[in-house]
Amino acid sequence: MDNKNVNITPNLIKHFADYLRLELSLSDNSVEAYCHDVGLFLQYIEYQNLSSEIKEINQQTIENFFAYLYDLNIGATSQARILSGLKSFWRYLTQEEITETDPTVLISSPTLGRHLPEVLSYEEIQKMIDSIDLSQPNGHRNKAMIEVMYGCGLRVSELIGLQISDIYKSDGFLRIFGKGSKERLVPIGDSSLKILFQYIEGARVHITPKPKFTDIVFLNSRGTSLTRQMVFLIVKDLAEKNGITKTISPHTFRHSFATHLLEGGANLLAVQQMLGHASVSTTEIYTHISDELLRDTLTSYHPRFKNN
């Protein structure tokens, strides 16, 4: 094969399956699982409108793929299995001299889901919110969603599961049920609360919820709750509309929430509680993001560093 123009295709995955079966003598179940994992990656790059040309795929592409899986609540065990499948695929590609580089080589299972995620600036978030067309049927809903995701640091699962009865309007708090159904109270600012109720008392009134979804805040046109994938699409569309080239997802607003709080001097334990992290060590990843931003600022603007 000409390694300059080889793309990941179903046919290449079929050749990979033959290699697993004939060269490595793997069982049919293992072959099917590995090929399924490579197929997932192919779906991802097609979904993101990325190049499937092997020479264009680098370590960042792989890391972004696992960030996407993480945002879809794919567990660490499943992520590790998928990584194993991708590593086997690139071993096959290098052995067959289809490529000389392996973008998976520096990615290890213990770090999955703990990469430094992309963070949006406050200006980028405000630009996205301001660009939402409120004359469209879902305009007020989408604006309220972004406001609540960023303003309260919610996981996408917490956002789509939020109930009207869990909004304590007069107290300025939301009752959130996080991982393992752990309950926490999260403050919500006056402006976010105002936008949220503009949707609840406005556009949402014109949707007839299905019986099981009468208390759910964010509804689709059929009267049921949104899916994680739908929220992802809404966020992706807003980013593209505003020329934001960062690889973002609904979880990016949660990362940005935490990073902006810590940059502003917020107490780490308070941020941990608002995020619903069981351990403060999980929250500490955001202090690394803040350190990185400070270092970039120093390098860019301090006269002692500019020309180094």
Q: What are phi and psi of 198, to 5 degrees?
A: -65, -35
- To 10 degrees, the CA torsion angle through 64, 5, 99, 85? 50
Selecting among 87, 228, 236, 251, the annotated active-site residue is: 251
Q: Mark whether 179 is an active-site residue.
A: yes
Selecting among 179, 194, 241, 295, the annotated active-site residue is: 179
Of 19, 3, 185, 168, residue with least CA distance to 89: 19
For residue 276, is it left (φ>0), alpha (ψ between -120 and 50) or beta? Answer: left
Selecting among 34, 70, 92, 286, the annotated active-site residue is: 286
Q: Mark whether 277 is an active-site residue.
A: yes
Selecting among 87, 140, 204, 254, the annotated active-site residue is: 254
Q: Mark whether 254 is an active-site residue.
A: yes
Selecting among 204, 236, 260, 277, the annotated active-site residue is: 277
Report d(CA 39, CA 89) in Å as an integer. Answer: 11
Q: Mark whether 155 is an active-site residue.
A: yes
Residues in a beta bridge with 174: 167, 186
Q: Mark whether 251 is an active-site residue.
A: yes
Residues in a beta bridge with 187: 173
Of 279, 286, 285, residue with least CA distance to 258: 286
Residue 221, judged by CB atoms within 10 A of its CB (0-12, 13-18, 19+), counts as exposed
Report d(CA 93, CA 58) in Å as an integer. Answer: 14
Selecting among 155, 228, 255, 260, the annotated active-site residue is: 155
Q: What are phi and psi of 37, to 5 degrees?
A: -65, -45
Residues identified as active-site: 155, 179, 251, 254, 277, 286
